[in-house]
Structure 1
Amino acid sequence: MRQKVQSEADDKLRRALENMRFASCTDEDLNFLDSRIAGFRPENPRLNRSSIRNISIITARNSQKDALNRMGAERFARDTGQTLVHFCSIDRVSARSVDKGRWKGCMQSDIKKMTLNLQKKLWDALPSTTNEYIPGKLSLCMGMPIMLRANDATELCITKGQEAVVCGWHATEGPAGQQVLETLFVRLVKPPKKIQITGLPENVVPLVRTVSHITVLLEDDTLLSVLREQVVCLLNFGMTDYTSQGKSREQNPVELAHCRNHMSYYVALSRGFTAAGTVIVQGFDAAKITGGMSGFLRQELRELEILDEITRLRYEGRLPRTVTGVYRRGLIRSYYAWKSDHRDPAHFHPAMRWNSSMGPRVPEAVVYSDWKPSFKVTNKRKRDPADSAHHDERQKKVVVNADPIVANVHAPHLIPSVRKPVGLIWDPRDYSCAYDATFTIFSNIWTDNPDKWTAHFGSLSGSLGEFAAQLYSVSEGASSLENVRNMVRRGMHAIKPDYFPYGHNTTSVDRIAQILLPSKFYAVGNQSCSRCGYIDRRNYGMLESYLSAGLSTRRQYPEGVPIADWVSQYLATGRQTCPLCRQEGVRQRLNMTTKLRSVPPIMVFDLSSDRLVFNDDLKFSCGEETIVMKLRGIIYGGQNHFTCRYVQQDGTVWFHDGITTGSSCLRENKLQDLKDRLCLHRCGAKLAVAAIYAINTV
């Protein structure tokens, strides 16, 4: 937060942001945030104040940003008594391949020529349907706020994300009779330095029309490569939380209802200078900022704070020379070796302080092997048949005498014709255990009914659809599960390289699940208050393929709760508190009435709360039909490694570890013979981190 003053409200906002960073907001924080929700009562902040009326609202989704910009432009023109002028782009179909980026599962369109009908559709399409967010139509008038979208001239502060207002333009007529911008003149808002161009007022700069290669998502979900001529800017009545990073705002209206997690909440709310300038549009989901953060994020923040403490002590000359290390882990181990009491620094936030559930306080030692490049020498001399036979005989001897597990590590396997489950072999160069555990379960589920599961996986995401399609080549012996895993992993790395790194850095199962099972709602809910009778007429999306119980489940169910009961409670619990009761000083959680439209074919439950108890199956009533989902897999994590248990349709449980079992799965027992479901929460020294349920396709 970029605070410039310190009032009582500012102090409450600062404390709320500190706790929000760790998803540990208190009731006092929630009460303060409730007080910043826009409303009509005298004590509520107003969105129609002149100081905030034309300020960009931070939201989570690009589609919402586009809607805010469209409505904001129309309102701004009415307020100022002007008429919007529509400037359209000049588009041509390009022969360049499309950039699938956000649309992995979409195919390239076979359109070869730009028609007038297609051009009009491209003009009316939202900027978020293009990969570069370049609008087909800019609706402008004098004084309208805009945001620059390209780093055209950094020395003139014409940079991506710079805010400005329209001062004038020069336009011509396009090939279809539309108005086309040649130059747009804008006045920069609070640039880093004063800009003076000869012949123009201070801080006024020209933006010229440029040619850009873009990919457009068409109405039929196909992708078209387009060469677009347009001034690269957007209206600025809404911006995403991603775009807002690094900005400082005196007036900070935010829309939090669709923010994905506590980090998104923190980014949006921390852009403001003061509490008085912070306005929350609609409400917010308190569960996202009170449930606690994931163990991986907590570990990362803990280690960063410890490294910061080491840096401070070294700067002050209070650190002995024995505290040293080439890598992070070794440096932290040497720090704790020096601090014999192993206590965390006093300034640590309570959510980051060590407790026994976090595992060892001091990170385990890691032996780093020396890296040596391998050179493959190809002998192009044609071998004699006798030499070939001798060479094959030597190869057979090596395989016979080799340890079977070690031999499997270097040889990719194929799915055998027998119905014994198979797993993926761990990659020792680019650690792959999280992918191995996930894809071992998914690939074996696919073998139940390949055609149906290929369709189901494709309906969930493009990444899963591509994974399922490649499994056919594995079953035919033309590829291996490891090759398919690596292909999907490359796609994930391209989307979020920090989340899905290579080398001796692993990822988490929940991150993989969020890519494979993106947000898609299978039910609609409406909220109401049992205390005062308030009814929220809005529809809320419910029931996704990936659900996280959150750490708050520990407080709600200290003795544990079956997953089926937790899902029922999740579908019946509202997302906000009642606004009418809140005005009376009462925090009354709304109830949710949910109607299922369908059921996802796969559901993954995050078990970070360690209070969810496994059910053999989950039952959903969808109209007059009852859909049953069976437990098909459990993923375990601990000590920087993941393993899994796969459950066949007949209830047979198999164990897989890509390091120790290689491509094999070890049979354990029947699921119904495991009377104590709590024993499924642990596998050796590792704890369950995810449970996977699937519908029956046989």
Structure 2
Amino acid sequence: MRNTGETDDDIKFRTALENMRYKACTKDDIHFLNTLVSANKSGRHFVGAAPWRDAPIIVGENRQKDEINRLGCLRFASDTHQTLFHFFSDDTVSTKTENPKQKTALKKAKKSKISEMTQDLQSMLWDLPTSSHQHHAPGKLSLCLGLPVIIRYNAATELNITKGQCSTVYAWHASKGKYGQQVLDVLFVLLDDPPEPVQVESLPLNVVPLTRRNTSGSVYLPDDSHINIMRNQVDVLPGFSMTAYASQGQSLTINATDLNTFSDHHSYYTALSWSRSAAKTVILQGFDPRHITGGATGSLRKEFRELEILNEITKLRYEGKLDKSVSGSTRNTLIEQYRNWKGLSYVPCNVHSAIRWSDKDPYIHEPADDIEWSTVDKKKFKKTKDKIISKALDDTASLPVAGATQHTSALASSKKRKRLSDSEHTTSPKKLKWSNNSCAYDSLFSIIRHTWREVTMDVSNYEYLPNIYSDFQSNLDNTLTFENIRDTFRLQVQHFSMLNWGAYSATSDVLGQLLRLKEPWIKGQAICTSGHISARRIRSLGAALLSGPFLEAPTSTSVWLNSIPPREMGPKCAICNADIHKMYSIQIAPPVIAFSLDGMANYSLDTEIAVIIANNQITYRLRGVSYFSSLQSHFVSRILDSQGRVFYHVGMSNGGNSILDNLSIRNVNMLLGPDTYRPSAAVYCKI
């Protein structure tokens, strides 16, 4: 709705539109709308007078639009004492094959046997209305200076030559066509109120050139058959009429509409809601009030109710007031969780009276089915013909990679592997289902939760882990799902640019927040290669995560932790002009640490790491590795338990359950992921 006026009529107009949306207009609304009906009387709106005389009339069908445009051109030429010039298209018969995505009605229409263009056929095509062409490319344009036109194609968005842009004819260059007819070479138009001023060299302000363009499409002939043609014509239409569909998204200062050409309250609302004010809105003739009264159908009211609840969920999530139990990935699940939280009788305050629910008019919502995500094995469909196979939903990371395809793991199909549920083995990893591009989170949360299940540790120095560990206990007590825990964390960190809700994320970005510390564990210092200490302050590492870049890459995770590689700094030493490096030293030993392995090569992944921290020997043990495939655009993980067994987790497969990979880590090369997967991050736990 574009009306923001403060007059009494504008307020009445907005009220009528609000009620019209739900097919619930009152007698007062009908009375007000009747005051907008065109009448050649003093004090009434009249379509034949300014400002509506040259305004586009919104109608329901293209054939009505074509006739209004034809009459509008004749009337405008008469009003301005000009002669209309007729510019024709150049058409050729196209050998285009039938498009499987073509509309059903067009597929069923009889195809003409005509195979070449003749002058008689061309003349017949010129006489057909514009709507007979599949893409509404005009066979004939009748123009004169100042005549309103609407651009039909996004030819140059940087010049505001966009589909739907209103303009007026400024000038043209024309020549002769193949049959001696006048054809436009260039049409110059003056843009009407463009978003930004446009200055083309050698042309007045906001005047832009439009050239002919080839448009391939079908044309319905008078015998109800259709023919495929290639039409060469400038992409404009007279601007005296448009359909309600074409009017969508516009903001109309002057609005004239013929409601009698519409069949339901949707199109009534569409045509009138783009008006900026009631004072400049006119309805051509009387209308049938039954189209906008009596109430919407039950299915439509249910749709509106669902949208209101989803709108409320979005608002509360933005304000940080949404309960963490409302975290589903599908529409039905979200609505069910919200109503369970608020109560079935709760109605958001802004819901329109026509769709509010109560004991007399209850809102009955179907139970939400929990959808199990899976990927599609394309190999199974190689020999399938004449079928459209939907591609799997991609679950890509934040790296510049191609769309996701089938992930088929040699490990997952191993005959030695069997699926273990929590009921079958108390220490098997908890299942975690993929949702909303969550694979980076899934691969890490599966490792972190299993580590919590087996190792007792103090995580009070972390920002997020204390609450996550508390939620793990609730999950163990079956009062909170694992998916809720993951999504609660996602909501808490979604304000970070690389961790927006539903966006693709990398494990390094997730770990940067998941393992964020209240007190830095590593401090940095600027020292030149000659040993001079710089006064420049170096930011300490705030997360228990080690990552590059390095001056020299470490050969193993053990070497990396025992001697954190220095990083290069830009300026030279003020004393000796030598290079200055960032040098790091570990101050405290966090119970959980991680290494970012993206892009690394020629290194070893140690199962255990011994390191001296604050004069104490600390041992870290590998608890899991996250893997990423740029080909599959997906993260998976391996999880290690205290007995040395290795589990494999893919959130989009096996219902989110982990699968036993091997009974001993000694039999697994952790640097080799399944198929095209490579290590992305390694998680260690202090023992």
Q: Shorter-chain TM-score: which interval?
A: 0.5 to 0.7
Match for residue 485 of structure 1?
none
Q: Identify unmatched segments of 5+ residues in structure 1.
A: 381-698
Match for residue 51 of structure 1?
51
**How far apart in 2 are the matches of 1:327 and 1:113?**
53
| C-alpha contact 1:249 1:271 (8 A) present in aligned 2 | yes
Distance 1:329 1:164, change over 3 A: same
**How far apart in 1 are the matches of 2:330 and 2:90?**
53
Distance 1:21 1:133, change over 3 A: same
The CA deviation at 1:41 is 2.8
- Residue-by-residue CA offset, 1:419-466 (whole Å, 9 max, x unaligned): xxxxxxxxxxxxxxxxxxxxxxxxxxxxxxxxxxxxxxxxxxxxxxxx
Equivalent runs, 1:292-307 vs 2, <5 Å: 292-307=295-310
| C-alpha contact 1:211 1:229 (8 A) present in aligned 2 | yes
Distance 1:226 1:98, change over 3 A: farther
Distance 1:344 1:93, change over 3 A: same
**How far apart in 2 are the matches of 1:133 and 1:59?**
16
**How far apart in 1 are the matches of 2:295 and 2:216?**
43
| C-alpha contact 1:146 1:235 (8 A) present in aligned 2 | yes
Name the aligned partner's letter for residue 37 of structure 1: V
Match for residue 247 of structure 1?
250
Name the aligned partner's letter for residue 367 of structure 1: D
Distance 1:378 1:367, change over 3 A: closer
Match for residue 421 of structure 1?
none
Is 2:112 the counterpart of 1:106? no
Alignment counterpart, residue 271 of structure 1, candidates 251, 270, 274:
274
Is 2:130 the counterpart of 1:157? no
Is 2:24 the counterpart of 1:24? yes
The CA deviation at 1:343 is 1.7
The CA deviation at 1:108 is 0.9
SS at match of 1:209: strand
The CA deviation at 1:301 is 1.6
| C-alpha contact 1:98 1:223 (8 A) present in aligned 2 | no
SS at match of 1:314: helix
Name the aligned partner's letter for residue 329 of structure 1: N
Name the aligned partner's letter for residue 41 of structure 1: K
Name the aligned partner's letter for residue 147 of structure 1: I
Is 2:78 the counterpart of 1:78? yes
SS at match of 1:6: coil
Is 2:239 the counterpart of 1:236? yes
Match for residue 308 of structure 1?
311
Equivalent runs, 1:671-690 vs 2, <5 Å: none
**How far apart in 2 are the matches of 1:152 and 1:328?**
38
| C-alpha contact 2:3 2:274 (8 A) present in aligned 1 | no
Is 2:261 the counterpart of 1:258? yes
- Residue-by-residue CA offset, 1:127-147 (whole Å, 9 max, x unaligned): 000001011100000000001
Equivalent runs, 1:573-588 vs 2, <5 Å: none
Is 2:349 the counterpart of 1:346? yes
Name the aligned partner's letter for residue 273 of structure 1: R
The CA deviation at 1:65 is 0.4
- Residue-by-residue CA offset, 1:616-649 (whole Å, 9 max, x unaligned): xxxxxxxxxxxxxxxxxxxxxxxxxxxxxxxxxx
**How far apart in 2 are the matches of 1:19 and 1:10?**
14
| C-alpha contact 1:98 1:108 (8 A) present in aligned 2 | no
The CA deviation at 1:370 is 4.2
Identity level (%): 44
**How far apart in 2 are the matches of 1:174 and 1:24?**
55
Match for residue 326 of structure 1?
329
The CA deviation at 1:245 is 0.5
**How far apart in 1 are the matches of 2:232 and 2:41?**
48
Name the aligned partner's letter for residue 329 of structure 2: V
Match for residue 194 of structure 1?
197
Match for residue 123 of structure 1?
126
- Residue-by-residue CA offset, 1:244-278 (whole Å, 9 max, x unaligned): 00111111100110212111111100111111111
Match for residue 90 of structure 2?
90
The CA deviation at 1:167 is 0.3
Name the aligned partner's letter for residue 81 of structure 1: H
The CA deviation at 1:376 is 7.1
The CA deviation at 1:374 is 5.5
| C-alpha contact 1:88 1:138 (8 A) present in aligned 2 | yes
Match for residue 143 of structure 1?
146
The CA deviation at 1:295 is 2.3
| C-alpha contact 1:147 1:233 (8 A) present in aligned 2 | yes
- Residue-by-residue CA offset, 1:109-161 (whole Å, 9 max, x unaligned): 00112121111111111000000101110000000000111111111111111
The CA deviation at 1:303 is 1.1
Distance 1:377 1:198, change over 3 A: closer
**How far apart in 1 are the matches of 2:46 and 2:378?**
68
SS at match of 1:350: coil
Q: Identify unmatched segments of 5+ residues in structure 2.
A: 384-687
**How far apart in 1 are the matches of 2:267 and 2:199?**
37
SS at match of 2:260: coil
Select between 362-371 and 153-162 the one with higher mean Cα deviation: 362-371
**How far apart in 2 are the matches of 1:378 and 1:271?**
48
| C-alpha contact 2:159 2:198 (8 A) present in aligned 1 | yes
| C-alpha contact 1:98 1:215 (8 A) present in aligned 2 | no
Is 2:64 the counterpart of 1:64? yes
Match for residue 37 of structure 2?
37
How many equivalent pairs are there?
380
The CA deviation at 1:202 is 0.6
**How far apart in 2 are the matches of 1:123 and 1:263?**
34
**How far apart in 2 are the matches of 1:113 and 1:77?**
36
Match for residue 280 of structure 1?
283
SS at match of 1:68: helix
| C-alpha contact 1:98 1:225 (8 A) present in aligned 2 | no
Distance 1:370 1:48, change over 3 A: closer
Name the aligned partner's letter for residue 70 of structure 1: R
- TM (norm. structure 1) is 0.52
Larger Rg: 2
Match for residue 7 of structure 2?
7
| C-alpha contact 2:4 2:10 (8 A) present in aligned 1 | no
- TM (norm. structure 2) is 0.53
For the aligned residue pairs, the C-alpha RMSD in angstroms reads: 2.1
Of Structure 1 and Structure 2, which has the larger fraction of its residues in helix? 1
Select between 317-326 and 81-90 the one with higher mean Cα deviation: 317-326
SS at match of 2:302: helix
**How far apart in 1 are the matches of 2:324 and 2:278?**
45
Match for residue 224 of structure 2?
221
**How far apart in 2 are the matches of 1:273 and 1:283?**
22
The CA deviation at 1:45 is 0.8
| C-alpha contact 1:332 1:363 (8 A) present in aligned 2 | no
SS at match of 1:176: coil
SS at match of 1:352: coil
- Please list every run of at least 4 consecutive aligned residues from structure 1 whose deviation after the TM superposition is greater than 4 angstroms: 355-360, 374-380
